[in-house]
Amino acid sequence: MSYPKLPHDVNSPVHPVSAMDYMPVEQLRALQLHRLQWTTKYAYERVPLFRKRCDEKGVRPEHIKTLADIKLLPFSKKTDLRDEYPMGLRGADMDEIVRFHCSSGTTGKPICIPNTLDDIHVWQNGAMRCLAMYGIRASDVLQVSYGYGLFTGGLGLHYGGEGMGCAVLPTSGGNTERQVMLMRDLGVTAIACTPSYFLRIIDEAKRQGVDFRRDTKLKHGIFGAEPWTKEMRDAIERETGIIAHDIYGLTEIAGPGVAGDCDEHNGLHIWEDHFYPEIIDPDTLEPLPDGEVGELVFTTISRCGTPMMRYRTRDLTRLRTEKCPCGRTMRVMERISARSDDMLIIHGVNVFPGQIEAGLLRIPEVAPHYQIVLSSSDTLDIFEIKVEVSQEAFSDNIAHLENLKRRVLEAVKSIIGLTPKIILVGPGTLPRSEGKIRRVIDNRRK
């Protein structure tokens, strides 16, 4: 059975990559509507769960007459992918599927996303547009230190880099000693990894006596896959002299390359000709206007392997209303401040780890390594933050350390309004990560 092809030709990897970024808004909206109508019909015909939910709501594909009509469609969630494991939401026939990616759940079954070749090209196009926006060119040497495999980070940046004509160095994660050696010896100019793994690489470079500015050609870091703050970006840039770019994506929609930040570093442009964004109130599920913070929802409007309809990401952000000075017309979302499921309730107060990170990194003597430890005694929460102190600041002088501890506490308290116990620890004490880091240890009784 053959399906109408989407106009992928303009997005093929050989087309000048950023041509779409500046598309006039009216044309973009017309393209989005065309693709949304196509995708709705495609998913209705091919994905039984979607059809069932539309039927229950009395919605049919022909009811989608404007982009605002998207709100008529049912939402989808991670649990749908789990319940329909392994491939219940597949749209394309098996002979069209060329690759699976999976994301490990914290419990139980992973979710599994089948992709067609067109899907891989759309994703590659998104990754290439991010790289082009960061200023990366064919002359760059790109070290890909995201994990390769079922995780989308490694292969996503790999295909993006090759599409741009870069020399790609597929180190994957781990073996950090060798990562630093190869970075220096091969003249790596850009590295892609989680921000927390880059912190580990910085440690290792120090251990080897490698100075980023003096001994390497590194200019760009392409960081994502986990929440990180502006303060973390500043700390990385100060330490290494590179430019730290933000890249966003998720297995269910496409890997890295759904959105990225431009030179303004004031949020991430979403490649909304492929990934249609909405912000909803996570409680009422009503769409929120641009400018309001809520849960990010994506509809893939040009993917066939697994068309995702109004997928609730759990990521919290807002869409900016102002035009971006860079001239791109694709809407900008603020950096992901948090995932709704990362929210901690401590002494009855809602706290996000990013708020703590932002407070800590305002203190120059604090290294960008911390761990939030929660436990309980009787009915009380015990809230501790272990904070690494820079080599220079870590001394035997008790008065200095007490003073530092007080300033750290004030910085955190001024943001979250709570008074955690601050434990200052020496350089290199806290665990490092080779992929996504776990900064919260919650041992409280549930």
Binding site residues, ligand DLL, CB under 6 A = 103, 146, 151-153, 156, 224-227, 246-251, 255-256, 313, 315, 336, 339
Closer residue to ligand DLL in complex, CB, 299/313:
313
Name the residue nearer to ligand DLL (CB basis): 255 or 307: 255
- How many Cα atoms are found within 13 Å in the side-chain-facing hemisphere of 339? 10
- Amino acid making up residue 77: K
Name the residue with tokens 């492929």.
274
* 287 vs 318: CA distance, rounded Å: 12
Question: Read out DSSP for 28-92?
Answer: HHHHHHHHHHHHHHHHHHH-HHHHHHHHHHT--GGG--SGGGGGGSPPB-HHHHHHTTTTTT--S
User: Dihedral, CA atoms, 87, 92, 95, 100, nearest 10 degrees?
Assistant: -50
Taking the least distance from each CB to ligand DLL, the nearer of 152 and 216 is: 152
Q: Shortest approach of ligand DLL to residue 296 CB, angstroms? A: 8
Nearest approach in angstroms of CB 171 to ligand DLL is 14
* Spatial distance between the Cα atoms of 172 and 174, rounded to a whole number of angstroms: 7
Q: Is 184 exposed, middle or buried (0-12, 13-18, 19+ CB in 10 A)?
A: middle
Given the complex with ligand DLL, which of 42 and 248 has the nearer CB atom?
Answer: 248
When CB distances to ligand DLL are compared, the closest residue is 224
Q: Would you say 255 or 305 has its CB closer to ligand DLL?
A: 255
Least separation in angstroms between residue 150's CB and ligand DLL is 9
Rounded least distance, CB 41 to ligand DLL, Å: 27
Report angle CA 25, 27, 30 to the nearest 5 degrees: 110
CB 136 → ligand DLL: shortest distance, Å?
15
Question: In terms of CB distance, is 73 or 144 closer to ligand DLL?
Answer: 144
- State the nearest-atom distance from the C-beta of 229 to ligand DLL, in Å: 10
Closest C-alpha among 109, 186, 194 to residue 147? 194
Q: Which of 266, 299, 250 is nearest to 71 (CA)?
A: 299
